[in-house]
Structure 1
Amino acid sequence: MRPRLRPPTALLLLSVLLGGCATAPQQAEGHWRPHARTAWQWQLSGKIDTGVDVPVYDIDGFENTAATVRRLHADGRKVICYINAGAWEDFRSDRAAFPSSVLGKGNGWDGERWLDIRRLKVLRPILAKRFDMCRAKGFDAVEPDQMDGYTNDTGFDLTAAHQLAFNRMIAELAHDRGMAVGLKNDLEQIPELVGDVDFAVNEQCAEFDECALYKPFIKADKAVFHVEYGLPTATFCPTAKRLGLSSMLKHLSLDAWRRPC
């Protein structure tokens, strides 16, 4: 859950509208791939309401049990495991696994600090254990958060190339475990990463006039799971439906409440 803070450049928007998209590489067979326009529920706080009539749930991987995932599966749902991949959290059970050398500046959320994503050899085994947790609980996919540190003041000299390498490592960790993986925000790198991931999760693309950047996902029949927090549905739903996004209005706390398009 990371609200967007800035719009992309006009040049980036133009490049996507003109079709500047990398060729999608071959991916491992067997894992789930959500199609464009798939309805979803995103709940990261409070007791999970398992009664929402949608085919996909996105819930916190640490806070929920295998029993909750089994209950959702029994009702015919696919379940996405939310974890923070690009920032450290002082309230997670594995917080001591991260050496202090990879902890950067705070990211604006209580108890969180950016990670030095250049340190792939250090971070890979730590994050691999998180992905193992998701798989062990039966999740079908992973939503890795904080995947655009290079555009923020992290305390590290991060580049777009560092972010691409990190994001592709994250995708590999999920696919190696038979799970789908999403691209969380990081709109600037959609053309390079659309072929590496199976879906996208976006916050506030309508508020910042960015939703058209997701056309490469829709063209590839990959779901774009999208939420707004401050706009009425009448404002963003017509555009979301035209583009093929899976959109809804949510509270910023990401509790059970939802108002889908």
Structure 2
Amino acid sequence: MRLLALSAVVLALTSCAAPPATAGPAVVLPPAHAGFDYQIGGPYPPAADVAVVTRDHGVAPAPGRYNICYVNAFQVQPGAEAEWDADLLLRDADGEVVYDGDWGEALLDLRTADKRARIADRVGGWIDGCAAKGYQAVEPDNYDSYTRAPEGLLTPEHAKALHTLLSARAHDKGLAIAQKNTVELAGDREAVGVDFAVAEECGQHEECGDYVAAFGDHVIVIEYTEEGLATACAGWGGRLSVVLRDLDVLPADDPAHVRRTC
């Protein structure tokens, strides 16, 4: 009788227990050393040698390719400041919005957990949209925005904390997620949850080997100069995806469009 009673208690407790946690959808990384095209300046039909394409989150992926979805996650698109809550724009000691001087993009304020959560919720909506459209991965840009903030307003820890939230959101949707540039944080890739790297001008700056040390062959290289392309191809053209693009990443029908590979 005691055994029967004990069995009944165990059964009751088991039936009331929370179900075990389940892992999110499995992610698939872009194929290494594959033909690549960077189309964030406007979509166009990929060349026959292209297996991997990056496009802006506002457009559809390229049919029949592995697609990476671009989102500006740490800065604001030029002219879009009013689309963000005013307190999410980083401000200097005089209360002026801090801008990336090269591209005219306001920096986002990553300094508190609350602000990071709100930024991640908005960018996360774009990530959800990428998954719904059929993308396989996401590329959050301007991870290194802290290097453009004056007076130490932003730190690497702020950037890593936001990226960790974005990585979780992407993985929950079954998307792989890239680390964009920021080679100095490549050693933290596992803690941040990034799966592969997208490195602009690592040939030009002789940094490709540092990315490979952290990510193996899962590095996509974008160069904007002939010199950078030559260096990337000579050192890594047999292992990595390498492409030369024009700086404005223009569509193929624009006279200033450039795309070449090793």
Give the 3 Å change call, closer, same or farther, for CA 29–177 of structure 1 in structure 2: closer
Match of 2:189 among 189, 193, 197: 193
Match of 1:106 among 99, 116, 125: 99
How far off its partner does 1:224 sit? 0.6
Match of 1:175 among 171, 177, 192: 171
Out of 147-156 and 203-212, give the one that drifted further: 147-156
How many residue pairs were aligned?
Answer: 222
Q: Distance in 1 between matches of 2:127 and 2:116?
A: 15
Match of 1:44 among 40, 48, 70: 40
Q: Distance in 2 between matches of 1:187 and 1:154?
A: 20
Q: Distance in 1 between matches of 2:103 and 2:186?
A: 28
- 1:203 maps onto 2:196 in alignment: no
3-state DSSP class of the match of 1:115? coil
Match of 1:253 among 242, 248, 254: 248
Q: Aligned ranges for residues 56-205 of structure 1 at < 5 Å? A: 56-62=52-58, 64-65=59-60, 69=61, 72-73=62-63, 76-91=64-79, 96-104=82-90, 105-118=98-111, 119-153=115-149, 157-194=153-190, 196-205=193-202
Normalised TM-score (structure 1): 0.77
Alpha-carbon contact 1:175-1:181 (below 8 Å) kept = yes
Higher alpha-carbon Rg:
2
Larger RCO (CA under 8 A, 6+ residues apart)? 1
- 1:226 maps onto 2:212 in alignment: no
Alpha-carbon contact 1:199-1:217 (below 8 Å) kept = no
Alpha-carbon contact 2:189-2:195 (below 8 Å) kept = no
Q: Distance in 1 between matches of 2:141 and 2:87?
A: 21
What's the counterpart of residue 95 of structure 2?
A: none
Normalised TM-score (structure 2): 0.76
How far off its partner does 1:59 sit? 0.7
Alpha-carbon contact 1:194-1:216 (below 8 Å) kept = no
RMSD: 2.3
Query: What 5-or-longer segments of structure 2 have no aligned partner?
Result: 1-22, 91-97, 253-257
Structure 2 letter corresponding to 1:198: D
How far off its partner does 1:96 sit? 4.5
Which 4+ stretches in 1 moved above 6 angstroms?
none
Structure 2 letter corresponding to 1:113: A
Out of 162-171 and 44-53, give the one that drifted further: 44-53
Please give the per-residue CA displacement for 1:44-84, whole angstroms capped at 9, x wherever unaligned: 2244123442211101112x13xxx2xx33xx311111110
How far off its partner does 1:236 sit? 3.1
Identical counterparts, % of pairs: 33
